[in-house]
């Protein structure tokens, strides 16, 4: 029997046909990509509403519960499940950004009050580190899809603006970081929405602009 390859990249919203055989005794895991993207998008949206000053920043503590539960725990779980699908990019991205939101929650809940000296510089270092990580993940996203690449390009810009704004104590730049953060959330929501719809309808309903056509991925299944 000839061997054919069924592409399956969860971050692109693709899944094998409903009757495709599984490689592990009939078990076929659900696609964790849309969940991870939704958790990231929702938490980013709420925080960015405060960073952009569209909502009074005095009430910003409302984001902490969301950062812990949805952006943090749920996104880490999505990352762990991506290991099961064989999707290295999704595993690294969701696990890392889930950890980001957990660290954000812990920083604000327990440790921010203990920072002495220049708080802006301390937060700047924290944000620059995440900007570097996001930038090299954006390079990897060049082989995922246009939808996911857009998320990572916008997120890199968001981290850079927030880092510069905190370093220099410039609220205008911080607000721009919030605006770009809102665009990032919108892009991530679209990628999640497209992945859910395409998987549910078992066909490409919404475009995600795949960038790795013809390239075998770790999660591909042979029959």
Q: What is the pTM of this model?
A: 0.84
What is the residue extent of each domain of the chain?
Answer: 31-110+119-207
- Give the pLDDT of residue 24: 53
Strands (E), the chain: 5-6, 221-222
Confidence of residue 27 (pLDDT cuts 50, 70, 90): confident
pLDDT tens column, 165-211: 999 999 999 999 999 999 999 999 999 999 999 999 999 999 999 99
pLDDT tens column, 132-161: 999 999 999 999 999 999 999 999 999 999
Per-residue CA distances from 128 to 82, 121, 136, 140, 158 (Å): 26, 10, 13, 19, 10
pLDDT tens column, 45-54: 999 999 999 9
């Amino acid at each position: 029997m000839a061997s054919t390859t069924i592409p399956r990249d969860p971050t692109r919203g693709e899944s094998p046909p409903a009757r495709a055989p599984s490689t592990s005794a009939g078990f076929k895991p659900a696609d964790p990509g849309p969940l991870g993207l939704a958790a990231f998008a929702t938490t980013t949206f709420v925080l960015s509403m405060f960073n952009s000053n569209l909502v009074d920043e005095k009430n910003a503590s409302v984001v902490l519960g969301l950062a812990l539960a949805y952006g943090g725990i749920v996104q880490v779980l999505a990352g762990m499940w991506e290991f099961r699908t064989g999707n290295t990019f999704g595993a690294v991205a969701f696990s890392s950004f889930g950890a980001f939101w957990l660290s954000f929650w812990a920083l604000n809940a327990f440790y921010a009050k203990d920072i002495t000296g220049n708080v802006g510089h301390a937060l700047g270092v924290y944000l620059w580190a995440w900007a570097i990580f996001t930038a090299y993940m954006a390079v990897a996203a060049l082989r995922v899809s246009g939808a996911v690449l857009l998320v990572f390009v916008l997120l890199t810009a968001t981290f850079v603006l927030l880092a510069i704004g905190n370093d220099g104590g410039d609220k205008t730049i911080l607000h721009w970081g919030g605006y770009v953060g809102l665009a990032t959330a919108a892009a991530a929501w679209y990628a999640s929405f497209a992945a859910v719809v395409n998987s549910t309808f078992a066909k490409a309903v919404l475009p995600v602009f795949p960038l790795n056509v013809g390239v075998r991925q770790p999660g591909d299944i042979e029959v």
